[in-house]
Amino acid sequence: GQSLEQPSEVTAVEGAIVQINCTYQTSGFYGLSWYQQHDGGAPTFLSYNGLDGLEETGRFSSFLSRSDSYGYLLLQELQMKDSASYFCAVRANQAGTALIFGKGTTLSVSS
């Protein structure tokens, strides 16, 4: 089966940089994704890493090391609106793109 571990909470101040780590155990690996969810809302896709290395999208970057079964989401120049929950996820199986999610990290950004 699959399991993912990520911190439950992270706090930071506006303008800072924060890193949210994710370690995973999977029977087969088909990429690591990150999703953002504001309180009560629908999750939205942030990034995907299929290969080792860094993927950058504006203020957000995501990193993957397959040999370490580890990835992280890096948020730069934090803004109040970045306060949300962040989930890492892996594909459930090879046959499709259903995801298994971590339990989520709640990021609180203060001024």
Partner 1 sequence: IAGITQAPTSQILAAGRRMTLRCTQDMRHNAMYWYRQDLGLGLRLIHYSNTAGTTGKGEVPDGYSVSRANTDDFPLTLASAVPSQTSVYFCASSDSSGGSNEQFFGPGTRLTVL
Closest CA to 10 of 70, 84, 88: 84
Does 15 bind partner 1 (CB under 8 A)? Our answer is no
Could you give the string, one character per residue 42-81, with x where binding to partner 1 holds by CB under 8 A and - elsewhere? Answer: xxxx--x-x-------------------------------
Q: Does 7 bind partner 1 (CB under 8 A)?
A: no
Q: Are 70 and 88 in contact (CB under 8 A)?
A: no
Minimum Å distance from CB 107 to partner 1?
Answer: 15
